[in-house]
Structure 1
Amino acid sequence: MKITKASLAEVIYKNHDDLTKKQAEEAVESFLRIAKDALIDGSGLLLSGFGKFNVKEKKPRIGRNPQTEETLILDARRVITFKPSGKLRSKVNGK
């Protein structure tokens, strides 16, 4: 099952009688905006019972173009990592 922003907003709308569909969509958009801003700033994002998103700094490194065999320097970059919580890991593994 693929979860999209629209399907997530639909589930929130159906589970909360006091929210309109528009409010559910805005809630999803607000959460995603807060999450993106935190990661862009380099902060972690911890969701209890789900996991933690972190931003790691990668150093420049030597790479190679496989077609030309040319050696080049790959720039430093930032990558996002995810570490699931113990509870989520257990449920995914059926424990």
Structure 2
Amino acid sequence: MCLSLAAAARKHLAELALLRRVRDRLDRESPLDVETLAREVDLPVALFVRRFQDAYGLSPHEYRRAAEAIRNREARPAPAKVA
């Protein structure tokens, strides 16, 4: 593997780690604005959104909405069983 390819791979893995940290933060905290999240990973907003979507298949906003929907579903009490 050439040196520049190895460096690019290391940079990509580091970026994925930062995106995972942002994703975890989206799971825990709400609301978060995209500008703050992009600053956290040191990327311009448009590039951050594109990279997040490439990594997780959803934009940060779509991911947050999906995570909230899952939390709301899990928070609902189970229906009572009728005997």
TM-score range (shorter-chain normalised) is 0.3 to 0.5
TM-score, with normalisation over the residues of structure 1? 0.29
- Structure with the bigger percentage of helix: 2
Superposition TM-score, scaled by structure 2 size: 0.32
Which has more strand, going by share of residues?
1
Higher relative contact order (CA 8 A, sep 6+): 2
